[in-house]
Amino acid sequence: MKNLKWFVLAAVCILFAVSWFAKASGGDGVDNSVLDAFLVTLAAFLTLAIMSFLYQDNPYYKFAEHLFVGVSAAYWMCLGFWSTVVGNLFPRISEGLSNFFLVPYQPGPLNFFFAIPIILGILLLMRLSPKGGWLSRWPLAFIVGTTAGLNFVRYLRSDFVKQISSTFVPLVVDWQGFGHFFSNISLTAGGPLVMMLTNLVIFIGVFCGIVYFFFSKEHTGVFGKASRVGIWILMITFGASFGYTVMGRISLLVGRLTFLFTDWLGIIG
């Protein structure tokens, strides 16, 4: 078993070298530099290493996982520092620091508001101090409290007031008697039949959906039945959403397969 591992590792290394050489020598009809050939081969290797997870956990997956996690964590840390601290803060507070980091200084009167994020940021780092750890709770409370407060109004506006007004739909549309209705019946989107059915689904869907999410009363009797209709409507919605999202995921798979078969192997022109 141990020999098998070494054998597989050797095979992978040989395949990697062959692929690199083939790409660099223009074997696939494309003139690549040595570095480009290495990068394409490495990307293909990492793609296959991640996909090997479908078989089971293995050293190649572990390698790709750790590389991915390490690189991305470092990348996000650098991005945060350069875009927030260097990009936004230094140009506003110090000409010397701006010149040091080669970012355009934005002169202006000293704005003490910039001191607030600096202080909060330092307090957040106090977590690393054994004695001053409690200070890090202040910026946390500030972040959670302000954002929750701002979101409260936003959600109440979009998810509550606007939702109520969207439910104001007439159940009977363009009604001119049964005779007229049945003689002019059609399945066109703007027709009265479809409009009435649409409005009915909206109204019943909202009504029963809200009943399902009513937590102050036990779901029994008529209330329980309405709640049951509500969960059915939710499940139908989720089913449609599932299918829609799965199609999106397949396009991601197609993207990776296109990379493997076009950029790496050059099979697809």
Partner 1 sequence: MRYVLRCVLVAALLICGTAYAQTEDMVEDTVMTAMAPAPATNVNAFDTDNDHGHSVTVTWDLSVDDGGGTGAVTGYEIHRWSPAEMVTLDSLRGLLSAVEAELPNVADSSAEANLRRDSLRLRYAALIATSVAVGDDLDTEMKARRAAVKEAFLAALDGLPAAHARYPENGNWQLLGKVAAGVSTYSDAGGKEPTASSFIPDYCGFHYKVHALTADETVYGETAPFGPVECYGQWFNTGRVPVLLAVLIFGALTIIFVSIARRGADLYVRPLAGIEAVDDAIGRATEMGRPILYVLGLGTAADVATIASFTILGRVAKRVAEYQTALIVPTYEPIVMTVAQEVVKSSYLDAGRPDDYKDDTVFFVTQSQFAYVAAVNGIMLRELPATCVYMGKFFAESLLLAETGALAGSIQIAGTDEIAQIPFFIVACDYTLIGEELYAASAYLGREPILLGSLKAQDYAKAAVVVFALAGLLASYASWGHVFTDLFKVTN
* Binders in 218-237 for partner 1, by CB under 8 A: 218-219, 234-235, 237
Piece of 37-45, 81-89, 180-188, 208-216 that binds partner 1 (CB under 8 A): 208-216
Between 115 and 144, whose beta carbon lies closer to partner 1?
A: 144
Classify each residue of 212-245 as buried b or exposed e, where b means 16 or more C-beta atoms within 10 Å of its C-beta.
beeeeeebeeeeeebbebbeebeeeeeeeeeeee
- The answer to whether 212 and 227 are in contact (CB under 8 A) is yes
What Cα–Cα distance (Å) separates residue 58 from each residue in 3, 8, 16, 53?
A: 15, 12, 18, 7
Q: Does 185 contact partner 1 by CB under 8 A?
A: no
- Helices then strands, counting H and E runs in the chain, come out as 11, 0
Span from 18-26, 110-118, 158-166, 259-267 in contact with partner 1 (CB under 8 A)? 158-166
72 binding partner 1? (CB under 8 A) = yes
CB of 155 to partner 1, least distance (A): 8
Tell me which stretch binds partner 1 (CB under 8 A): 4-12, 112-120, 162-170, 188-196: 162-170
170 binds partner 1 (CB under 8 A): yes
User: Considering beta carbons, is residue 67 or 268 the nearer one to partner 1?
Assistant: 67
Candidate segments 6-14, 36-44, 115-123, 209-217, binder of partner 1 by CB under 8 A: 209-217
- For residue 227 the two structure tokens come to 């709640």
Closest approach, Cβ 14 to partner 1, in A, equals 26
Pairwise CA distance, residues 55 & 62, whole Å: 13
Question: Cα 87–92–98 angle (5° rounding)?
Answer: 60
Asked whether position 214 contacts partner 1 by CB under 8 A, the answer is yes
Number of residues interacting with partner 1: please give it, by CB under 8 A.
72
143 binds partner 1 (CB under 8 A): yes
103 binds partner 1 (CB under 8 A): yes
DSSP string for 139-158: HHHHHHHHHHHHHHHHHIII
